């Protein structure tokens, strides 16, 4: 018996990466050696010290029971201390930090705490699809904030109509940005904090890529470094990209006390927290040897240089930035982003992500993820060169 899906499910577009996986499998079945530069899933293993911490913690009987809904206080203290050292931001670990089953979970649940039917969430476009989907699941409406090349892929928050701002409850931001690789400036964050303060909008800052940068003198910012930001902002951070822990599902949110409390109320009713052994491993990640993070940056730096040289030979323009392990590239003349991604897959067995999959303003671009070894990246470049684009 087939049961009809709810309207919220029927209206969902195919999830971007699931569709890419389907097309990829078709090529593999044809016997092609596919190079996947689509999903941003680090191929570098989790550092051994973190794995060992999990192994030790998994043997503790006290970790075999239900964990705290909001996370172990020791983990929240470690997250607060990490923020203090990295950004100079002081946080109360009991009231301003909450543990998450990966930051995606927290971002998806947050609108349920603050969006009522008909409320607006300001969502960047292009963007990680979860922002808009979570808003719609909560009964809210999405107002798109275009991210454009000429604006450095920063939304013009001061141009949003006042009637929209009065109905808006959330503003989603993501810097360093996925997919565009753009970075936020202090000036931009000050404008955001000013607008959010005037219209009582909760800023939802998604910041999983702050530790993947290539110029030590230009480290990415946290919005919480801006005066007054803690009054209007909650920031999500993940151990996934910083410590190569995508499969572990652990992250945290910090900032505005009422925002953290609201998210906690949702989580109390829908999940049972993070396995404490994983939280203990997370403590090791945040407080232990940080040289692994620098090694990650060096690996991605070399990969980035390889692919950028290839793009320059191909004559393809790309967003020049200091952050993330992505490249955001203009498609050649005469192609849509989907058509070009399809051409690369069918003619060169290379998976990239079409920009339109991140929203209508992503049209005209494609995203490359540098989560493959240098040999495969060099081969991908060679395959693209043979296409005579």
Separation of alpha carbons 110 and 112, rounded Å? 5
Same fold, 7-45+291-386 and 48-287: no
Return the sign of the alpha-carbon dihedral for residues 244, 173, 319, 22.
positive
Phi, psi of 14 (to 5 degrees): -55, 135
Helices of type H across the chain: 7-10, 16-29, 48-58, 73-87, 103-114, 130-137, 162-167, 186-199, 239-242, 257-270, 276-287, 291-314, 337-348, 374-386
Q: Does domain 48-287 have CATH number 2.60.260.20?
A: no
Cβ count near 252 (within 10 Å): 30
Tens digits of residue pLDDT in 202-231: 999 999 999 999 999 999 999 999 999 999
What's the fold here for domain 7-45+291-386? 3.90.1150
Structure tokens at 10: 């029927």
Tens digits of residue pLDDT in 144-191: 999 999 999 999 999 999 999 999 999 999 999 999 999 999 999 999
Phi, psi of 255 (to 5 degrees): 125, -135
CA 308 and chain centroid, separation: 22
Per-residue pLDDT in tens (0 to 9) along the chain, 389 residues: 889 999 888 888 776 667 777 888 888 898 899 999 998 899 999 999 999 999 999 999 999 999 999 999 999 999 999 999 999 999 999 999 999 999 999 999 999 999 999 999 999 999 999 999 999 999 999 999 999 999 999 999 999 999 999 999 999 999 999 999 999 999 999 999 999 999 999 999 999 999 999 999 999 999 999 999 999 999 999 999 999 999 999 999 999 999 999 999 999 999 999 999 999 999 999 999 999 999 999 999 999 999 999 999 999 999 999 999 999 999 999 999 999 998 999 999 999 999 999 999 999 999 999 999 999 999 999 999 999 87
State the DSSP string of 153-200.
T---GGGS-HHHHHHEEEEEE-SS-TTT-----HHHHHHHHHHHHHHT
Q: Where exactly are the structural domains of the chain?
A: 7-45+291-386, 48-287
In angstroms, the first-to-last Cα distance of the chain is 49
Phi, psi of 221 (to 5 degrees): -90, 160
């Amino acid at each position: 018996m087939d049961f009809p899906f709810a309207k919220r499910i029927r209206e969902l577009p195919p999830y971007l990466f699931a569709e890419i996986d389907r097309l990829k499998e078709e090529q593999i079945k044809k016997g092609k050696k596919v190079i996947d530069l689509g999903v941003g899933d680090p191929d570098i293993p989790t550092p051994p010290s973190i794995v060992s911490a999990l192994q030790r913690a998994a043997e503790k009987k006290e970790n075999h029971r239900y964990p705290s809904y909001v996370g172990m206080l020791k983990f929240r203290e470690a997250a607060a201390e990490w923020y203090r050292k990295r950004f100079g931001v002081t946080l109360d670990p009991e009231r301003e930090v909450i543990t998450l089953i990966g930051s995606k979970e927290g971002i998806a649940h947050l609108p349920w705490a603050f969006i009522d039917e008909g409320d607006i969430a300001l969502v960047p476009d292009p963007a990680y699809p979860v922002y808009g989907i979570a808003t719609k699941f909560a009964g809210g409406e999405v107002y798109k904030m275009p991210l454009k090349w000429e604006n450095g892929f920063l939304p013009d928050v001061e141009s949003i109509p006042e009637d929209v701002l009065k109905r808006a409850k959330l503003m989603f931001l993501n810097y360093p940005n996925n997919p565009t690789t753009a970075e936020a400036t202090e000036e931009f964050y000050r404008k955001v904090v000013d607008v959010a303060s005037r219209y009582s909008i909760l800023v939802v800052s998604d910041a999983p890529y702050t530790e993947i940068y290539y110029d030590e003198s230009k480290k990415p910012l946290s919005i919480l470094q801006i005066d007054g930001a803690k009054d209007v902002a909650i920031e999500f951070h993940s151990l996934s990209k910083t410590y190569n822990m995508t499969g572990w599902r652990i992250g945290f949110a910090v900032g505005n006390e009422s925002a953290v409390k609201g998210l906690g109320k949702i989580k109390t009713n829908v999940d049972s927290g993070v396995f404490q052994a994983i939280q203990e491993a997370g403590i090791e990640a945040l407080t232990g040897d940080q040289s692994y993070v620098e090694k990650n940056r060096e690996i991605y730096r070399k990969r980035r240089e390889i692919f950028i040289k290839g793009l320059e030979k191909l004559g393809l323009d790309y967003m020049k930035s200091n952050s993330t392990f992505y490249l955001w590239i203009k498609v050649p003349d005469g192609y849509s982003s989907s058509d070009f991604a399809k051409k690369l897959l069918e003619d060169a067995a290379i998976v990239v992500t079409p920009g339109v999959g991140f929203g209508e303003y992503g049209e005209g671009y494609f995203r490359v993820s540098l989560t493959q070894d240098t040999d495969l990246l060099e081969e991908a470049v060679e395959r693209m060169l043979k296409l005579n684009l």
